Chains A and B, each alone.
Chain A
Amino acid sequence: MIEKALTGNRYYWLWIALLLLVIAFGISACSQQMLLGMSVTGLGDDLRWGLSTMQFTFMAAVAASTILVVLPCYLHGYKPFGNIAVIAQFLGASASAIALLSLFIDMGKPQLVLDLLRYATPSSPYSWAFFLLTGYFFINLVTGWATLGAERKGVPAPAWIKPVIYLSIPWAITLPVVTGFVYASFPSNHWIASLFALRLLSSAFTGGTALLLLIILILKRTTDFDAGREATDKLVMLVTSAGVFTFTLTGVECFAISEVPLLSWLSLLIGIASITVYFVPAWKSSGRWFMGASAGVVFSILAEKGAALLYSSMGAVVAYTPTLAEVSIMLGALALGVLFLTILLKAVVAVKRADQQA
């Protein structure tokens, strides 16, 4: 199936070339970082974690949110999601890969990455995050690929796939929980550890589902793949309900804590504005507004992850300007994951098209 990624129209190759360019920039910035140390980033003694950690938590959240499609599809046999379940699984795999890459490039000594497995520590949420993301990557890749392969041959999916998919459900829920615990270890965190994990769980379902919605919209515009009206509506419903919870919690933070970063307010305002678009039928049916709202939700959740990092150990809000190198590294990791996702989705679209013709 992978050979499908080698054929495409001009726009497809332009997209691939763009991704490769971003990856090249990322690699060059990464080599700079290896040479000069982490001082090429905008981080410092006051602010230990920045863009890469933001991307790590966001992508862990995206990976987790894919069970909102997988669970109804496989556990409850909800048919409209049957078409997009594979996309959700591949998104889960790619998002886990980006999250792992973001962790990797943020390490002072990335050559010791395997020590994270060798000396895995049960008391460390960071250690759990690494282990769980690696596992989730393989679970989603294997199940997604097997499902797609069976669909291409027109045979039912192999029986072993079901237990693995069931395993992926509790596995997915643990991802925002452990990233929540990573954040909750900050002494400046205003949330009780267990509550912060719940907040990230809720924002994961909001942001991740909005991203899936965005991907489906892009696929609909660029290829002949259509997820179907019912599936899209259901996803909007999920984003809206999860979003209401999430932005309530963000609002609680903005209003209850004396000093919050500007980014928190931005996240709240954009989030509420985007959710409002989903509520108004006229705006929802307009393609442009709809896409903008989905992108708005994604941005809002991304900003929420970033804002939680902007406190010094003494609790003060820290000013942070990411450097060009840092942005290149982050985007390079992102582009690598998106390239991976593009290749997988190309196979998905080709198989679905063959199905429709048959």
Chain B
Amino acid sequence: MNEERREFIKKTSLGFLVGIGAGSGLFLNFLMEKTDASLWSDKSTAGTIRWGMLIDMRKCIDGCQKCVDACRLVHNVPDFGDTRYQIEWLKKSPYREVFPTSGEDFMSKERTGKSVPSLCNHCAEPPCAAVCPTQATFKRFDGIVALDAHRCTGCRACMASCPYNAISFNWKEPRPAIKALNDLYPTREKGVVEKCNFCSERLLKGKLPACVEACPETTLTFGDLNDPKSAIRLLLEKNQTMQRKPELGTLPSVFYII
């Protein structure tokens, strides 16, 4: 009797393990993002906010750095003066670097010759938030891809997965490299990543993002993408716009008029 029971338990456990072994092949969805056709429609859901930005390059002044400087000042972004360690939330770089997959054949120099502001795209499907092992990078209720520096372990998986190079790592202690310390916002410490937060701390106070406010022209438009009457949605309806690397399916919330 006892022998039979032992045999039964042995066989059942073996069978279960075979099941797990084969089953593990079936449950890969845990690890991989599912391709869901409905995700490609605009994810507007009534009652929720999705912050977005439109960058109108027709109005951007070449050589102007006001938005970049404002961002550095407001968020205590260090300036190491070395591309290897450089930390950037918002930067202006050549067209080719911002839109490497869009091509620039036969386009006018006027369009491709300008340096284009780029920042975190606050994707609707952020790869960085998916790969973060501690959910330090996560998607907020209002569409902002936020970073909780308290929880960041500095593993840099988010950096490796970001197709836009929008996340920077503090290779060194950042405080000595901050030119003017702003006491309204914390700094970061060495060993954590940082990125644009769409000025969520300013949104809380009813202010626009610092770059939008600093722009001398009306290059940057900030608003709720889920509100059909917002200024950004009206501009998106009237103009031909583009996103960075749309082929990756990350659904950026930052749009460009070139």
Hey, which bits of chain A sit against chain B, CB under 8 A?
A: 36-39, 43-46, 48-49, 103, 106-110, 112-113, 115-116, 118-128, 130, 162-163, 166-167, 169-170, 173-174, 178, 181-182, 185-187, 193-194, 312-315
Distance, CA A45 to CA B164, complexed state (A): 12
Give every chain A residue within 8 A of B190 (Cβ-Cβ). Answer: 37-38, 108
Which 10 A-B residue pairings sit nearest by Cβ, starting from the closest? Answer: A108-B154, A108-B191, A44-B84, A187-B163, A37-B190, A127-B133, A170-B21, A119-B134, A39-B171, A185-B161
Beta-carbon nearest neighbor of A309 in chain B? B160
Q: Which chain B residues border A169 with CB–CB below 8 Å?
A: 17, 21
Give the chain B neighbours of A107 by CB distance below 8 A: 153-155, 191
The distance in angstroms between the C-alpha atoms of A181 and B28, with both chains bound, is: 11
Asked, given contacts A185-B161, A314-B165, whether A38 binds B171 with beta carbons under 8 Å apart, the answer is yes
Chain B interface residue count, CB cutoff 8 Å, equals 52
Q: Using Cβ atoms and an 8 Å threshold, which residues of chain B touch A193?
A: 32
Which A residues are in CB contact (< 8 Å) with B97? 314
From DSSP, what is the main secondary structure of chain B's interface residues?
loop
Of chain A, the residue at the smallest CB distance from B165 is A313
A209 to chain B, nearest CB (A): 20
Q: Which residues of B come within 8 Å of A, CB atoms?
A: 10, 13-14, 17, 20-21, 24, 28, 30-33, 83-86, 97, 100, 127, 130-136, 151-157, 159-165, 168-173, 190-193, 245, 248
Q: Which residue of A lies closest to B100 (CB)?
A: A314
Q: Is the CB of B155 within 8 A of A106?
A: yes
Tell me the bound Cα distance from A167 to B19 in angstroms. 11
19 other contacts beyond A48-B156, A167-B20, with CB at 8 A cut-off?
A39-B85, A39-B171, A43-B171, A45-B86, A48-B159, A108-B152, A109-B192, A119-B134, A119-B136, A123-B30, A123-B31, A124-B133, A163-B13, A170-B21, A174-B24, A182-B157, A187-B245, A187-B248, A313-B164
Question: Can you list 28 A-B pairs with a CB-CB distance of less than 8 A?
Answer: A37-B170, A37-B191, A38-B169, A44-B171, A45-B165, A45-B169, A48-B159, A49-B160, A106-B155, A107-B153, A107-B154, A108-B190, A109-B192, A112-B152, A115-B134, A116-B133, A116-B153, A119-B136, A119-B151, A121-B133, A126-B131, A126-B155, A167-B17, A169-B17, A170-B20, A170-B21, A187-B127, A194-B32
